[in-house]
Structure 1
């Protein structure tokens, strides 16, 4: 892992990071990264948990073979961070059998790259124009770039799921929920995925999705740039804070704050992951606007930088981690 981190530090921006077959996403310490996988990972004894969305301790290269974005001869793939899921589903694809698992606190997906996979589909020259109520099932093909109009935040049909959505969900509203576009619209790529046993509800970026049981077909959304989620109305004041400012020191239940530079190395202790205790330091980030929200239900806090990915479920990290480590050692 130290070698991988050293390579990432020395590698010029825009180049692939060489990794091994057993490198997992958590080792890469990045939200989005392009890696260079070696040859022969198909037959390496390394584990992968999930289908399309994988636990962050899964092998990146073997997961890429499983999705069809990488051949056993190796090559470049891009991986992107995702929130933890309540469950992960096993499947057999392209010679790789993945395992199922319960709740886990971190995930990742493999982003399709036409240069890294066999050319089964022809890249589109222009995006497909869609409406706010266009559903993924109305598209043809397994991967389509679409252009969403503005104002889909308050228009369009229902969305079921979080990060991975049922195939009859509104594409553009799902894209807002996923943080891929804002209410101003924009381009996003829709990728068809197998059905899931369950879909999780969430409220993100102004779009509330619904939970659902088993559904035969799903889709995920990718984009070249990560959109900044819309914040509160512009008249809401921005409160300057220090690196050691705690959430409990704020007066309102929702506050936009401005973090100073250098909080990566300064500030007080932070307890939690994705959901934090209200006595943690507000700013473990570098000069960004932060959105803080306290829920009335569990009185815990969610701390979201604009480039972060929100997790909608509270996970007992200590218990889950110990139980899982114990299972894998057996």
Structure 2
């Protein structure tokens, strides 16, 4: 019995139409409910140029604001997470939730300049989100592998970049004017008001959003090979121990009778595509989807013979997370036997370092595939580790180790 977890994929475009709309709608909802109420808060619309610049920055996978040449012209909010799927709106809500640490500076306090009163570590995500005159937004999402986030390496990070224009967050100013909603809108809005926001009318706002619904294909190459599957294809039929985590599902899988066993985590007998629909990462129109194994955190000494020895039929080992600095472990306790193909009495993590699929300094994720007997294991020196040779081991099994990319 093996469980697999489905993850949100984002390969075909910088941001899906549904995520784009959700981000935009939440921005406008939050902007319309600020307290104290805003007299000049403008309705936000989507901007394709801002989206393009956000995509370019998201693809750098740098956890910092940028690029430096563009920052004087735009505002920018960043969000990143790893692990279980979270909608991008969770980051938007987190930005807004900085309001708990922010005190709005009333006019009597603004002489000659308004104080910036933040009692928490940061409030500038909130103030950019509710900056009244920042009426255009464009965001992008990118999956970053081995991303450095505050000194820690995140193996698979989902990076959200939102760019805003006109730029906000000017020091010495309030993010908006306090007063009756829509009582101080710019003349260009013609007196229209929608849900406490200065509004230019349905046609203008709709066109600004609709113009962005264009497929992006430039990021597809980052993810390597994919597999086209049918609605009935089961997880157990598709993966035989190696890393095989990206699938393309056809449309119409709701009409299939294939089983789905589980919730959040799914049994290997489950239909790949119908499990994806059940979890909510794809809909009945089909699309791309990732499948990820449950992760097992191990020590530097853990071996395949203890964790998941070879059996017939071939079994699936959990995805493994290795700690840092296994290179320094006692080689008599954490042996490495073989080259490319290792004895299952070998340390998984030290074998991964030896094979070059894992960095000693950062540790991280690896996959292993147990295999049947081997008569000969070859010694070699690789990546700071001398592996042992072994001939004709009694009943010993083997394994291969794979990088998680």
Is TM-score (shorter-chain normalized) higher than 0.5?
no
- Structure with the largest fraction of helix: 2
Q: Find the structure with the greater CA-based Rg.
A: 2
Q: Which has the higher contact order (CA 8 A, sep 6+)?
A: 2
TM-score range, shorter chain: 0.3 to 0.5
